[in-house]
Amino acid sequence: MASALFAAQMHHHTEPVSVSSAGIRAGRGLTPDAVPEEVLDVMDDYGIDLRDHRSRALTVTMLQEADLVIGLGRRHVQEAVLLDSGSWPHAFMLKELVRRGELIGPRPPAEQLESWIAAVHGDRTRDSLAHRSGADEVADPYGKALADYRSTAAELDRLTTELAALLWPTLSGRPAGPS
């Protein structure tokens, strides 16, 4: 849901941005799964069709080619850094990235994305990956009620809207929320 919502934000920007998703469980002896019906229902509310989406496994190549790696939970970032230690400076949990980005402010138009990400990374240490706090994690609704999916989608929509405003503050994205 997060990558689809963020891609929808980026669709409204003039600067070309590629958004892709991969999972830490997909492809590890599992067949690519179709999107759960609950996700399809919720994303329909946002005007996003995920019927053709299939899960795929996160790879070292994906991490090495990414300017920014965003996980929804600590485990996602841990797995990314274990796969490719060089991804650490640009691998964040979504809530963490928005929180830290708000502290340094939106990326100025002349500043390169890489520089802004480095500033957001700042004094982070890998020790933070060992913490057990869930404060920066987005709740995973998988296997729960449709209301949980809607709640998570609303949170992801808010966070991706805030992130888009931090990364590209001079460009206006789509309004947050279901259509």
CATH (domain of 42): 3.40.50.2300
CB atoms within 10 A of CB 125: 8
| Predicted local distance difference test score (pLDDT) of residue 131 | 79
- Domain holding 163, by residue range, is 2-167
Percent of residues in the chain assigned helix, strand, coil, to nearest 5? 50, 5, 45
Q: Say if 163 falls within a structural domain.
A: yes
Residue 28 confidence (pLDDT): 47
Domain count for the chain, please give it.
1
Can you give the pTM of this predicted structure?
Answer: 0.88
Q: Are residues 159 and 91 in contact, defined by beta-carbon separation less than 8 angstroms?
A: no
Could you tell me if residue 128 is inside a domain? Answer: yes
Determine how many CB atoms are found less than 10 A away from the CB of residue 59.
Answer: 13
Q: Per-residue pLDDT averaged across 146-157, rounded?
A: 97
Q: Does residue 172 fall inside a structural domain?
A: no
Classify residue 158 as exposed, middle or buried by CB count within 10 Å of its CB (0-12, 13-18, 19+).
middle
Token pair 């600590």: residue: 74
pLDDT given for residue 26 in this prediction = 57
